[in-house]
Structure 1
Amino acid sequence: MKMDWLRTSIIGGILVVTFLLIIRWNEFQERKISALNLQPTSVSESVNAAEAQAEQVSEFDIQMPPTSTTAAPKVSAPEQLIQVNTDTLQIAINPVGGDIVKVGLLKFNDKLVTGDEKAEPFILLDQTVGTTYIARSGLAGTNGTDSKSSRPTFVSASSRYNMGDNETLNVDLNYQQGDVNITKRFSFVRGSYLVDLQYIINNQSAAPWQASLVGSIKRSSYNPVIAPGVGMSPFLGAATTTSETNYDKYSFDDIAEQPFKHTKQGGWIAMIQHYFMSAWIPDTTKQNTYTLRKAKNNDMYFFSFASEPTVVAPGQSETISAQFYAGPKDVSELEKIAPHLDLTVDYGFLWMIAKPLFAALDFIHGLVGNWGIAIIILTFLIKVLFFYPSAISYRSMAKMRKVQPKMQALKDTYGDDRQRMSQELMKLYKTEKVNPVAGCLPMLLQMPVFIALYWALMESVELRHASFLWLHDLSVKDPYFILPLVMGLTMWIQQSLNPTPPDPMQAKLMQWMPVFFTGLFMFFPAGLVVYWVVNNTLSIIQQYVITKQIENQK
């Protein structure tokens, strides 16, 4: 029967979309990024030289005192880590090389804290016995201070710096290279996760001084567990912007298989994980070479940049600068730092829907102050947007319910003649002005919004540890499974308003759909289930009113 085939296809399509959603849920990765050329087509000799030095610096493995309190041995004064505290960051800098070896995010807790538990800051960068994640920087080239065999030891006025009530904080590390005084300055601003790095070169020698600024993120491939949940696998790896594409990302496996390299004026290179990231943003006016690669003999990865050389004439001073970001994946802040850096907040292939959805959600949150209430209001607005097409669909389903007795009569009369049965059904639909395909419109319209909102909620650090009613964290599953059960109930009520499929097998399949979706939604972020429950409730009200209107018509 033609209509049986059509209905089966529609149901099958819904199941296929659901299955694809589960696959995407497990992968959380839109595509496999194609490899960039191993060698850039046009790079100056000076940049190549700086790049070679950068590789040496990034590979150099100086022994640093562990930052973990459980395994920290007593160290000599020159190797004592320099502690820096602002209102947002807790940073440890190793005077040997001046590398950032630990970053704690003071406004984000390490885990969900309830009751009288003490909140500990989330540690993004660190070097412990089992993990490595640090940000390195140095000067490489003709007069560079950093090489594969040595790193400079800087001297600072203090081993502890606190921003206090000030708006800014400068931490100066000094190094004397013959007649050249080098100051490595880290500058911090209140409320910001962006660190300005400056090398101030004061050349008091009789010869020109020349070197390139190099920076790298050195990391092992460990996978931090941020938001545990069945099937959740957010992207973990490197990202960069190139002259050809605004945003490319590479997993650790990609980099282990083949190193990547490209050259770009300005640009950035980042390490991405769930909710948080770090990135080097070199001088936008200079040509920079970016390299992603794995160490040959261990589980260590380097995401590096090397700028073109800077020449400082005798008796002159010059400043070489870059920026380092370590913090949450905040779209509004990342947009201000560098072009396309906000794309590290990966909304998937439906970003054109997800990004406006989150922008609207963020705006509403600014008005009401609670993410759960903001999701409810956003759901209502989405429902208003889809009100007219939903009404068309519900009228079609109400008419289908009303003509079901006539359809059953046709089935009793022409049940053995499928061709005649199909013809009579077409006549009945035309006479009663019924469009059975329109009944699936709400599901088809809502599915892209559902998937886009899923990615938006998964990627939005703002929802991490955000509470609503009994929920302490809207970014993870409901611990008591109350919302998924309510969602299943609303889905069953809505299904009871729909016409019963004529085929017994299809009818039984539809009866099990609420059970299937309830089990699926038990592991979805609670914020997403809030959206679906509210959406179902509003749909039930709208469909019930329209169904009663159609049934009361003569």
Structure 2
Amino acid sequence: MDWQRYTLLGGIAAVVLALIFQWNEFKEERAPAVDRETVVRGDAPTLPQGQEKDAQAETNSDVPQLQSEAEQPQVDNGEQRQLISVTTDVFELLIDPRGGDIVKVALRDFDQELNTPDRPMILLNRTRGHTYIAQSGLIGPNGTDSSAGRPLFESEATEYALSEGKDTLTVDLTLRQEDANITKRYTFNRGDYLVDISYLVDNTSGEEWSAAMFGQIKRDSQEPPVDTGIGMSPFLGAAIRTADENYFKQDFEEIAEEPTRETIEGGWVAMVQHYFLSAWVPPQDEQNTFELRELSGDLFRMGFTATPVTVAAGTQGELSASFYAGPKDVIRLEQISPYLDLTVDYGWLWWIAKPLFRVLNFIQEHIVSNWGWAIVLLTLFIKALLYPLSSAGLKSMARMRKFAPQMKKLQEQNKGNRQKLAEETMKLYRREKINPMGGCFPILLQMPVFIALYWMLNETVELRHAPWILWIHDLSTKDPFFILPVLMGATMWFMQRLNPQPTDPTQARIMQLMPVMMTFFFLWFPAGLVLYWLANNVISIAQTWFINKQVEAGKV
């Protein structure tokens, strides 16, 4: 009996759903905790067995060398120092006086997890089990950094904070040498994730001073904790601009297999992950050499070396670059350096996705002030924009649905005579002005827009921890109760009922299973993406119903 079959199917669905809830709870309980403690360089990092860092990698053998560089004297590597704390409206940052490196960056406007304002998102950090730091220095004949060691800077204080009413915070690290006095200056601006780093050189000697600035991101291959669901695999790795490609990326495996070295004017080098990135931006009017390579002990160097600068005897000079550590903000990245915004990876359809993001951002800022409703309105806007294309296909399908009984009658009358059936079917199509392929071309034209929108939503950092309504508190993670995926599947099934059913029984069965399969896959998709598909289905249902009524009434 049908009721027995439906009861059995319902029981199976309930068991599967219970297993899914249990699996999610199992994963959440065993998710690795983020290590928030930053270590001083002298502390020995410890990794799981088999992943220990090579001791040489923890010395400074990763400092880039110039071909003309002379042998540097040994620098005292004593570890007696305190990390320098810097707090701005957007940063909690630590600087190591040894080398003046940035060894921790926490982003105050982004929580590590939902509703944890006391635990800001940690982007860079040097812990006992993880290395992700930003280093910079001077190399060359008079450089301060070499394979022999790094300089130990001094500072007036160990804690700095951006004061209320001030827009700029300057942190100076000083180093006195026989040939020059050097100030490594960090400049932080309110509301900005871009940090300016300058070396101010006072040549106190009677000879010419020469060195080149380098900046690099040193990181292991450890993946950050991210909940992106089935089918979603955000890129994790390095990216640069080359002479041939505006956006060239390599993951850690590719860097290990084939290191990259490129010299161009301007440029940038970035470490990219889901929603966030860090990037060095050297002077844009000079030739810079960029390098992506593996060090030892699962450490990778992603850096640049700028053009050497010469400071005449008794004069002053400056070497500078900028370092970005923050969210993938398309608008801000466009302003920093050409093509840096491509690190917000929309794929090959970026030329469609970027305008879609502008529209989405405008809707959120000026109309609804809610990213969930902005997605709904953007979907409505796109469907309205593409309606002239989609209406042709909808009308064709509506006519096929209207005359489906006649087609079925023809199949019964001409059973076993394929040629006769084809002739009679074509006569029906011509008489009733039915184009069986009429819906294909408009749908194909819409596909690039929908794919671009899909990837745009996946890369939009603004959706991270952004609420919509009721139970949806984070549009970037899965629906905790799977309500949206179930609604999406239901609307997909209902939309199928409005369209003509395949005459082939096998095809019809496959089409009936599609909503179930899609619902299963969408259970783990970010809620913002599921909301988009749900809104798209609801609007499509309304359009299809409207066209069907018009065709049935003979109005079109």
Scaled by the length of structure 2, what TM-score is found?
0.84
Which stretch of the first structure deviates more once superposed, 462-471 or 418-427?
A: 418-427
Task: Give the Cα–Cα distance (whole angstroms) in 2 for the partners of residues 405 and 195 of structure 1.
Answer: 70
Which residue does 1:157 correspond to in 2?
156
From the superposition, tell whether residues 214 and 118 of structure 1 become closer, same or farther in structure 2 (CA, over 3 Å): closer
- Please tell me whether the aligned partners of residues 91 and 107 of structure 2 are also in contact (alpha carbons under 8 angstroms): yes
Greater RCO, CA 8 A, separation 6+: 1
Q: Which residue of 1 aligns with 2:434?
A: 434
Q: In the alignment, is residue 272 of structure 1 matched against residue 282 of structure 2?
A: no
1:143 to 1:319, Cα distance in 2 relative to 1, 3 A: same
Counterpart CA distance in 2 for 1:393 and 1:269 is 46
Give RMSD over aligned pairs: 2.2
Q: Does the aligned pair in 2 maintain the 1:183–1:201 contact within 8 Å?
A: yes
Q: Given the superposition, is the C-alpha separation of residues 509 and 61 from structure 1 closer, same or farther in structure 2, using an over 3 Å criterion?
A: farther
The answer (yes or no) to whether the contact 1:180–1:201 under 8 Å persists in 2 is yes
Indicate the residue corresponding to 2:99 in structure 1.
97
- Once residues 69 and 104 of structure 2 are traced to their aligned partners in structure 1, the CA distance between those partners, rounded to angstroms, is 24
Please, which of 67, 74, 87 is the counterpart of residue 85 of structure 1?
A: 87
Match of 2:387 in 1: 387
Preserved CA contact (<8 Å) 1:198 1:321: yes
Task: Note the C-alpha offset of 1:498.
Answer: 1.0
Deviation, structure 1 residue 434: 0.4
Q: Distance in 1 between matches of 2:95 and 2:76?
A: 14
1:175 matched to which residue of 2?
Answer: 175
Match of 1:50 in 2: 66
Shift of 1:240: 0.4
For the structure 1 residues 370 and 458, does the alpha-carbon distance in structure 2 shift closer, same or farther, using more than 3 Å as the test?
A: same
Structure 1 letter corresponding to 2:473: H
Structure 1, unpaired ranges of 5+: 1-47, 65-74
> Equivalent residue of 1:156, what SS?
coil
Alignment of 1:259-408 (within 5 A): 259-295=259-295, 297-367=296-366, 368-408=368-408
1:9 aligns with: none
Give the Cα separation in 2 of the matches to 1:310 and 1:185: 17
Partner in structure 2 of residue 42 of structure 1: none
Deviation at 1:150, TM superposition (A): 1.8
Alignment of 1:143-292 (within 5 A): 143-165=142-164, 166-292=166-292
Q: Aligned equivalents of 1:474 and 1:539: distance in 2?
A: 22
Tell me if structure 2 keeps the 8 A contact 1:453–1:528: no
Residue 229 to residue 354, structure 1, CA distance change in 2 (3 Å): same
Q: Distance in 2 between matches of 1:62 and 1:356?
A: 54
Shift of residue 444, structure 1, vs aligned partner: 3.3
- 1:389-538 aligned at under 5 Å gives the runs 389-440=389-440, 443-469=443-469, 470-538=471-539
486-495 vs 435-444, greater mean Cα deviation: 435-444
Deviations 1:500-521 (CA, angstroms, capped at 9, x unpaired): 2221222222222211221222
Q: Counterpart of 1:96 in structure 2: which amino acid?
A: R
Mapped contact 1:53–1:147 kept (Cα < 8 A): no
Q: Distance in 1 between matches of 2:402 and 2:68?
A: 77
Conserved in 2, the CA contact under 8 Å of 1:396 and 1:435? Answer: yes
Q: Following the alignment from structure 1 to structure 2, what is the Cα–Cα distance between the partners of residues 451 and 61?
A: 55
Superposed displacement of residue 533, structure 1: 1.5
1:326-377 alpha-carbon deviations (Å, 9 max, x no partner): 1111000001111110010000111122111111101111112100111111
Match of 2:49 in 1: none
| CA distance in 2: counterparts of 1:233 and 1:546, whole angstroms | 38
Displacement of 1:133 in angstroms is 0.5
| CA offset digits 1:248-298 (Å, max 9, x no partner) | 001101110021101011111111111111111111222111111101x31
Amino acid at match of 2:194: L
2:130 paired residue number: 131
Distance 1:122 1:49, change over 3 A: closer
3-state SS of 2:66 partner: helix
Structure 1 CA distance, aligned partners of 2:149 and 2:325?
26
CA 1:195–1:338: 2 relative to 1, 3 Å? same
Amino acid of the residue matched to residue 125 of structure 2? D
Contact 1:50 1:307 in 2 (8 A): no
Aligned partners of 1:187 and 1:197 also within 8 Å: yes
Report if aligned partners of 1:156, 1:172 keep a CA contact under 8 Å in 2: yes
* Contact 1:51/1:306 (8 A) holds in 2: no
Hey, what's the Cα distance between the residues in 2 that align with 1:476 and 1:218?
A: 29
Cα distance in 1, alignment partners of residues 182 and 503 from structure 2: 82
- Letter of the 1:50 counterpart: L
1:29 alignment partner in structure 2: none
Equivalent AA in structure 1 for residue 217 of structure 2: I
What displacement does 1:228 show? 4.2
**Aligned pairs for 1:52-71 within 5 A:** none
Mapped contact 1:50–1:308 kept (Cα < 8 A): no
Question: Is 140-149 or 535-544 further displaced after alignment?
Answer: 535-544
User: 1:414 & 1:353 partners in 2: Cα distance?
Assistant: 48
TM-score normalised by structure 1 residue count:
0.85
How far did 1:442 drift?
A: 6.1
Corresponding residue pairs, total? 489
Q: Tell me, what secondary structure is at the counterpart of 1:437?
A: coil
Equivalent residues of 1:256, 1:293 under 8 A apart? yes
Preserved contact between residue 75 and residue 150 of structure 2 (Cα < 8 Å): no
Shift of residue 62, structure 1, vs aligned partner? 10
**Corresponding letter in the other structure for 1:241:** R
1:146 Cα offset (Å): 0.7
**Unpaired stretches in structure 2, ≥5 consecutive residues:** 1-63
Report the Cα distance in structure 1 between the residues aligned to 2:542 and 2:75, rounded to whole angstroms: 65
CA drift of 1:232 comes to 2.6
